[in-house]
Structure 1
Amino acid sequence: MPSSINIQPASHSARDRWRAMLEGVALGAIYGILLRLLNHTNFVGPKAQTFSQTFSVMTIAFLFGGPVVIGILTVRRAEAIEHVSVWKWIFLPWISVFVMLLTLWLFLIEGGICILMASPIALVCASIGGLIAGTWSRLRKPSGLTLTCVAILPFLLAPVEARLTAPSSTRTVASEIRIHATPQTIWRNIERVPAIAPSELSTTWTRRIGFPRPIEATLSYEGVGGVRHASFERGLLFIETITAWEPQRRIAFSIKADSAHIPTTTLDEHVTIGGRYFDVLDGEYTLEPLADGNTVLHLVSHQRLSTNFNGYAGLWTDAVMQNLQNSILEVIKHRCEHA
């Protein structure tokens, strides 16, 4: 008798599977780039300001919803031929996000500061989108119309969200340093800060991502009402008006960023100090003499944060301000102890 023949279903080649995954990565990255371009002033033309406010990057729909859609599109396309493993649901969308962010950075559409701040939440949300798409594919293949509706959802929600008034919160950042010097010596180094040489500042992560370094602080006259000009590189200037003056004990000042004269290339538009989303309000130095001859120098500042995700944004603004304050305190410590 002739032997029976078992016919096995043809399996897709490894090349086909890799092509599907690469297409998914490309689809997710292109979607993210197009979503960002709608908010880029050089792209949208003469009505950029109105358009930018309508499709604001600083919305939950864009910053959180956009990456979710990237993850959905990436994994859905990757699963077009056959199911992929769960770990690919989680990490394949990361490649799409990295490609998107790298492209935006290379073409100067997004700066290093914003990319660093957006990356963690973008990666997490992209993985969530990947898990949604993977589970969805297992249960039921989503139609092209359904995916299209999902893709345009951030475009529909962002304008609505942008019209809502973002809640404002006041953040407090406190720093301190122990200095082996008298209050008199320290006071001379905080009421005015002579020009800071680049060699006096350690290389910090905030400087690596593009935040300007401090240069100097001048003072018009001693006492309440005196005006300090705290200068940073690339034209960043803070105008500080003295509100409390207790020699060798305490100096406090309100802060107003000279935003009208800050070059647009100094900071990303979404983290401009004195702008729509973030501002530094005031600062205060307090000197605490110790019995052992040392002095603890305290520096406290308050910032205004106005976004729809202040909890997440506050983690970054606090970290940036803490790093900046610590850098200034280190300069003061070194100058006082080597006076």
Structure 2
Amino acid sequence: MLYGIFARLVFGLSTTQAWFHIMSFTFILGVPVSLGFIVVWFADPRRQRYSWLMKLFLPWSAAVIFLVACLVIAWEGLICVVLWLPLALVLSSVGAGLAMILQLLLPTDRSKNLCVAIVACAPFFSAPIESLHASPRQLRTVRTDIVIDASAEKVWEQIRSVPRIQPREQSWSMSHALGFPLPVEATIEGQGVGAVRHARFEGGVLFIETITEWQAPRKLAFSIVADTARIPPTTFDEHVTIGGDYFDVLRGAYEIEPLGPERVRLHLSSVQRLSTGFNFYAGLWTEWLMGDLQRYILRIIRSRCEGRG
């Protein structure tokens, strides 16, 4: 646990940002492996106290305590801790397995001591090398839809602009529970391509959406720019700030698919940009969280169109 806190301190210092980055492959994936390795190595150096199965899960408690400590110290927000936890647990077990294998293979105490030193120092040597390369940039699209018992024209009026959402219309959502602000309203200035929507969320979050496609009552598409200058620093965890170094929402679109005279399927899609050293994992959570948020918005639109808002 102390190893993890020390690593987080080094990787998070402003004076070391040229070489060490929290949102790097080395920190997010490498540190949990080293943590698991060290826990098992020192907990059972003679391979006599625990079974191999127990040792695989032995680092989990250290990983959890480390993440809780990051939350308490306010190094990380709840959303980052929850997103990192599954990966940290699995990788700490990988480190535990590696420790058990090397304990069997290495013949002398000297070689074993050298091995644990290399593993403990590996993240601190590899991070500066990783920092020489820019994080890969990846675009991902999240698509959601909902069936609404209303005409296309009525649905269009609800997506063109969204009147202020009242407290009675709000409900629980996982994305909000993890710290993502709830939608408040969306106003529009002008008509057609070039018109500007202002989508407001709780916590002072504002998205400026410029209409790029206007096909009433079928499709509304727009580019998205987060007004980062007005977002209070307490609204988002610094590592998942929209419009920040690691994550952004670039485009969105509503499409109305007629299913009958008074029945449509409303599609909502968005395109996000990821720029981390572990996009393959971050993308899974991005799709899930954005999907949850989009379904929340679609449910409010359905409720209003069907007269239940």
* TM-score normalised by structure 2 residue count: 0.94
Residue pair 2:148, 2:306 contacting (<8 A) in 1 also: yes
Partner Cα separation in structure 2 for residue 133 and residue 289 of structure 1: 59
Q: In the alignment, does 2:218 pair up with 1:249?
A: yes
What secondary structure does 1:286 align onto? strand
The Cα RMSD (Å) is 1.5
Which residue number in structure 1 is paired with residue 101 of structure 2?
135
Q: In the alignment, does 2:1 pair up with 1:32?
A: no
Which residue number in structure 2 is paired with residue 64 of structure 1?
29
Which residue number in structure 1 is paired with residue 268 of structure 2?
299
What secondary structure does 1:265 align onto? coil
Residue pair 2:151, 2:261 contacting (<8 A) in 1 also: no
Residue pair 2:145, 2:265 contacting (<8 A) in 1 also: yes
Which residue number in structure 1 is paired with residue 44 of structure 2?
79
Paired residue type of 1:330: R
Residue pair 1:72, 1:133 contacting (<8 A) in 2 also: yes
The C-alpha deviation readout for 1:242-288, integer Å capped at 9, x for no partner, is: 11111211111000111122222111111111111111111111111
4+ long deviations beyond 2 Å = 50-54, 80-83, 138-146
Q: Which has the higher contact order (CA 8 A, sep 6+)?
A: 2
Partner Cα separation in structure 2 for residue 82 and residue 39 of structure 1: 32
Which residue number in structure 1 is paired with residue 162 of structure 2?
193
Which residue number in structure 2 is paired with residue 203 of structure 1?
172
Partner Cα separation in structure 1 for residue 126 and residue 47 of structure 2: 33
Which residue number in structure 1 is paired with residue 183 of structure 2?
214
Q: Which runs of 5+ in 1 are unaligned?
A: 1-28
Which residue number in structure 2 is paired with residue 99 of structure 1?
65
Partner Cα separation in structure 2 for residue 136 and residue 54 of structure 1: 30
Paired residue type of 2:209: E
Partner Cα separation in structure 1 for residue 18 and residue 238 of structure 2: 12
Question: Rg larger in 1 or in 2?
Answer: 1
* 1:121-200 alignment, distance < 5 Å: 121-140=87-106, 141=109, 143-200=112-169
Quick one: structure 1 residues 82 and 304, their matched pair in 2 at CA, closer, same or farther if it must change by over 3 Å? closer
Which residue number in structure 1 is paired with residue 75 of structure 2?
109
Matched positions, count: 304
Deviation at 1:124, TM superposition (A): 0.8
Partner Cα separation in structure 2 for residue 56 and residue 229 of structure 1: 33
Which residue number in structure 2 is paired with residue 18 of structure 1?
none
Partner Cα separation in structure 2 for residue 89 and residue 136 of structure 1: 14
Deviation at 1:293, TM superposition (A): 2.4
Which residue number in structure 2 is paired with residue 261 of structure 1?
230
Residue pair 1:38, 1:52 contacting (<8 A) in 2 also: no
Residue range with higher mean Cα deviation, 211-220 or 75-84: 75-84
Q: State the identity %.
A: 45
